[in-house]
Structure 1
């Protein structure tokens, strides 16, 4: 079982969603971002501690070599990676960067309209665009402050 699969299985088994995993270049630091969509107010310190404590034991049993484990909430500028993320946050403002340009453009800011036929739908200043999910390099929510 590879590391990402092990982390995904463990985190979802605890009732959380694994949003993202970052590893330092030599794999010495593991940084996980978790969420719990149905929880009002989002992830708190106790949630992070629960996941961290459990993962520390699992990684020891599986002989995963690392120096530091960090578990955090995805934050207000949450990264969108999975198809389900783009569906869940429809109606939200996003910043999106493509791997390969579309009509000479790689960066898009707009309102996420969801997913249609496997393509990410976005309303930008010049109208609606459909972007291949496989071409999305990075996508993040734009934080809203009241």
Structure 2
């Protein structure tokens, strides 16, 4: 059985989602897991759960056994959560993180598709992930300059235009959650 299949069966069998399997130099086998996601129901409050150290330990023990049984060669096994810059690989990932700020890298430049307001050779974008009306995806962003506390701003200054770039999953080389850290804590307000 192939490595990907062994890892996928083991992780899913334990009730987790497999995000990524990566072989690195020196025999390192890195497995990234996440908790399963289901769209919230109308009467259900959305509350995010996170992978714990105990979850990673449980998957590690089971994977060590499964990999040994199938004779997979590796020197070190590392099981972890996806972190704040979680990769988005499947349609379900995009559905789960709709409304979140993401970073995408396209396979080919698509600046002309954004109304000519974006550099024609640009491939990397950061913005809010949204579902487009045609069923594809889009990323929405503004090149608004962040105003520092105490900085004077002209009242005549025009707001920065909002850009929208539509894309299909086939056009993406890499997509990840943007690693934005809020030091005010979860659910805190920015004042």
What's the TM-score once normalised by structure 2's chain length? 0.69
* Matched-pair contact (CA < 8 Å) for 2:15–2:36: no
* Matched-pair contact (CA < 8 Å) for 1:35–1:73: yes
Aligned pair 1:12/2:22, yes or no? no
* Structure 2 partner of 1:139: 175
SS of the residue aligned with 1:70?
Answer: strand
* Structure 2 partner of 1:31: 30
Mind listing any 5+ residue stretches in structure 2 that lack a counterpart?
38-46, 112-120, 143-161, 185-191
Distance in 2 separating the partners of 1:59 and 1:144: 36
Q: Which moved more, 1:111-120 or 1:38-47?
A: 111-120
Aligned pair 1:120/2:142, yes or no? no
Q: CA RMSD in A?
A: 2.0
* Structure 1 partner of 2:94: 86
C-alpha displacement of 1:119: 3.1
* Structure 1 partner of 2:127: 110
C-alpha displacement of 1:120: 2.6
How many pairs align?
Answer: 145
Per-residue deviation, residues 57-103 of structure 1 (Å, max 9, x unmatched)? 00000110111100001011111111110111000000111121113
Distance in 1 separating the partners of 2:61 and 2:130: 38
